């Protein structure tokens, strides 16, 4: 494993010393490129009260390429599939090296508040979301209560 770049060290330090409200990110002791992340569901969203676990990995070429992020907690969301993969432009074509882990996690958090069923990853969820939004939000709430309970 190549030596950690100054960028990763600085970002980690700041994530720990000055955490974003509602978000935690801790690097693994044995692999400092691998982070355990938690995101709280924002208030006024179907995910309110939930605590979602994610994993985040910084590839060798980071920050020239985007980190790999995945939800570990089951979540009912049109842009997140059942394997936890996230469809987010910031992770794909809109990635630029100036985006930091914290900006990225913030945009994932805001994806939870504003789902985009027109650009879906989980087709079945997106279809429900379009046909019966109230019902879909209800399911999302149920899933949050069932799988993302705060301990």
Looking at 5, 110, 123, 138, which residue binds another protein (CB under 8 A)? 5
Residue numbers 55-94 binding another protein by CB under 8 A:
63-64, 90, 94
Instruction: Tell me, by CB under 8 A, how many residues bind another protein.
Output: 15
Indicate whether 134 belongs to the interface with another protein (CB under 8 A). no
Residue 100 CA, chain-centre distance (Å), reads 13
Indicate whether 27 belongs to the interface with another protein (CB under 8 A). no
The least CB distance from residue 101 to another protein, in Å, is 12
Q: Residue 27 has which token pair?
A: 């690097």
Q: Could you tell me the CA-to-CA distances from 12 to 25, 32, 137, 150 in Å, in that order?
A: 8, 9, 34, 24
Tell me if residue 128 is catalytic.
no
Indicate whether 17 belongs to the interface with another protein (CB under 8 A). no
The nearer residue to another protein, 5 or 138, going by C-beta atoms, is: 5
Mapped onto helix, strand or coil, the DSSP state of residue 52 is strand
Indicate whether 103 belongs to the interface with another protein (CB under 8 A). yes
The least CB distance from residue 146 to another protein, in Å, is 35
Q: Residue 139 has which token pair?
A: 């399911």
- Residue 39: which of 54, 19, 18 has the closest Cα? 54
Distance CA 139, CA 30 (A): 38
Mapped onto helix, strand or coil, the DSSP state of residue 77 is strand
Applying CB under 8 A, which residues contact another protein?
5-7, 9-11, 63-64, 90, 94, 96-99, 103
């Amino acid at each position: 494993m190549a030596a950690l770049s100054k960028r990763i060290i600085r970002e980690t330090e700041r994530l720990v010393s000055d955490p974003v409200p509602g978000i935690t990110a801790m690097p693994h002791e044995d692999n400092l490129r691998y982070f355990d992340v938690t995101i709280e569901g924002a208030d006024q969203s179907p995910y309110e009260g939930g605590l979602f676990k994610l994993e985040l990995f910084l590839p060798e070429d980071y920050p020239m390429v985007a980190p790999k992020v995945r939800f570990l907690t089951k979540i009912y969301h049109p842009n997140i599939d059942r394997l936890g993969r996230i469809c987010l432009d910031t992770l794909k074509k809109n990635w630029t090296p100036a985006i930091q882990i914290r900006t990225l996690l913030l945009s994932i958090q805001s994806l939870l508040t504003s789902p985009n069923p027109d650009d879906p990853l989980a087709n079945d969820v997106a279809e429900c979301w379009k046909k019966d939004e109230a019902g879909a939000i209800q399911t999302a709430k149920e899933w949050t209560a069932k799988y993302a309970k705060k301990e």
